[in-house]
Amino acid sequence: MRNGNYKIGEAAKRLGMSPRTIRFYESAGLLPPPQRTAHGYASAGHRLFSPEDLRRLQFVKQARLLDLSLDQIRELVEVTNEGCCGAARPHLKSLIREKLPKLGRRIAELRRLGAPSPPPCSCRAAVTLSAGVSLCDLRHTHLDRNFRYGPISTSTP
């Protein structure tokens, strides 16, 4: 940290994002060009991010979690550049209202993926493999191989 400003690696660590992501947001116009040190990489100096830059990056990160597009985030950032953040609040609320049904479906889908599914038969083999196939399914698969060599043993040693 220099004079209250952070180099890109320090900023990235504080925000939980990569320096590459910060550079991307800068190139996408979501962040004004940061100050630079007098000397550094490629003679242009190291990027220095102010606490205000970090707050803006945190806002961008949270907006991305709400599934707002870069264009939508850019609109919100531009409104706040022209005045106080209160000016962007009504627009942000309307964007979030539009996203809520989609986010609700996404949350339900993620919960469904994480919930244990009931075993498909009476043997109660509740272990499910990553491909969505349960051990029970494998045990009851009647392929030629199983027919010739008998069923797969389910006894535990």
Highest mean pLDDT among 11-15, 33-37, 91-95, 124-128: 11-15
The pLDDT of residue 22 is above 60: yes
Contacts with 61 (C-beta within 8 Å, 6 or more apart), sequence order: 15, 16, 17
Segment 110-126 shows an average pLDDT of 65
The model's pTM is 0.61
Q: What is the pLDDT of residue 11?
A: 93
CB 31 within 8 A of CB 25: yes
Q: What is the pLDDT of residue 39?
A: 62
Domains of the chain: 6-114 (1.10.1660.10), 117-157 (no CATH)
The pLDDT of residue 135 is above 70: no
Segment 68-77 shows an average pLDDT of 89
Segment 74-92 shows an average pLDDT of 78
How far is the C-alpha of 77 from the C-alpha of 81, rounded, in Å? 6
Average pLDDT along the chain: 74
Q: What is the pLDDT of residue 153?
A: 47
How far is the C-alpha of 104 from the C-alpha of 154, rounded, in Å? 40
User: What confidence tier does 2 reach under pLDDT thresholds 50, 70, 90?
Assistant: low
Q: What percent of the chain clears pLDDT 70, i.e. is strictly above it? A: 64
